[in-house]
């Protein structure tokens, strides 16, 4: 099956893609393009899936470079494969032929480019990373390689939407304690619950960081099981595990 790849005009000219689950070799709850070695899927099958992504981006599989994601605000610069993968949630490069990859299953995958400076970045921005500054950290690492904020573009890929992101009062209080204005990203739900708008929060963080051209693709991972994996949906359906989507960008 052909891979299903979402791209965005803001990143036109820089090879990139938010890959859906379609077109992969995995089966069962992982059916499709599961690219997460951290899942309980067969390692060899995940490698096949990642190889298909690398082929679409015209890089060797070992030049599809990622990090050991830990929901942090840390970002690193890379020039090629790093073993073991550094513990971080953002990565940047100015090295031709390197593709940066992020794995998600409801969190925000964010791809960055400064086409003029030839610097790219990628970030895994769940609520913890986004709140604590992973997007800003990724931007700063790009600047260290010569990128300029005014020239940067950023796109948030498929993520869980506000309608499906129910949270408790303690979650909301964590955000309000950081900044009272963050209350605007919550709407009341049933009883004491709220619904959090993660992509809107991500876009606001990018705007506050000085990124003037930023967008969300408006795809909800929870809503579309045919195209996307979703951690939250897997929990609600009491599945043993879940696949990981990949987003990648290369110079």
Tokens, residue 146: 């010569």
| pLDDT given at position 1 | 64
Tokens, residue 153: 């573009």
> What does the chain come to in residues?
251
Provide block-wise average pLDDT over 10 residues at a time, the chain (251 residues): 94 98 98 97 98 97 97 97 95 97 98 98 98 98 98 98 98 98 98 98 98 98 98 97 98 92
CA dihedral 150, 215, 128, 53 (to 10 degrees): -100
| pLDDT given at position 104 | 98
Q: Which of 34, 176, 228, 196 is nearest to 126 (CA)?
A: 196
In angstroms and rounded to an integer, the radius of gyration of the C-alpha atoms of the chain is: 17
Query: How far apart are the C-alpha atoms of 152 and 173, rounded to whole Å?
Result: 32
Domains of the chain: 5-161+197-250 (3.60.140.10)
User: What is the phi/psi pair of residue 90, to 5°?
Assistant: -140, 150
pTM comes to: 0.97
| pLDDT given at position 66 | 97
Task: Judge contact between 186 and 222, C-beta under 8 A.
Answer: no
Angle at Cα 175 formed by Cα 171 and Cα 179, nearest 5°?
A: 165
Sheet containing 186-188: which strands, arranged edge to edge? Answer: 166-167, 194-196, 186-188
């Amino acid at each position: 099956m052909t891979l299903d790849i979402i791209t965005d005009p803001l990143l036109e000219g820089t090879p990139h893609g938010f890959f859906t689950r379609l077109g992969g070799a995995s089966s069962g709850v992982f059916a499709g393009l599961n690219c997460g070695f951290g899942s309980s899927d067969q390692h060899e099958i995940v490698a096949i899936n990642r190889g298909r992504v690398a082929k679409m981006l015209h890089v060797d599989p070992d030049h599809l470079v990622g990090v050991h994601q830990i929901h942090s605000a840390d970002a690193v610069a890379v020039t090629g494969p790093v073993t073991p993968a550094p513990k971080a949630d953002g990565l940047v490069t100015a090295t031709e032929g390197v593709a940066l990859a992020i794995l998600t299953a409801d969190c925000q995958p964010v791809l960055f480019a400064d086409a003029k400076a030839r610097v790219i970045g990628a970030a895994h921005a769940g609520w913890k990373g986004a709140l604590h500054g992973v997007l800003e950290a990724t931007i700063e690492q790009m600047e260290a390689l010569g990128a300029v904020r005014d020239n940067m573009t950023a796109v948030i890929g498929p993520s869980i939407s506000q309608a499906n992101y129910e949270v408790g009062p303690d979650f909301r209080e964590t955000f309000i304690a950081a900044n009272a204005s963050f209350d605007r990203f919550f709407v009341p739900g049933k009883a004491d619950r709220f619904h959090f708008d993660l992509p809107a929060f991500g876009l606001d963080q990018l705007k506050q960081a000085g990124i003037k051209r930023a967008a969300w693709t408006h795809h909800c991972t929870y809503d579309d099981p045919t195209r996307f994996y979703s951690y939250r949906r897997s929990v609600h359906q009491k599945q043993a595990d879940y696949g990981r989507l990949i987003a990648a960008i290369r110079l």
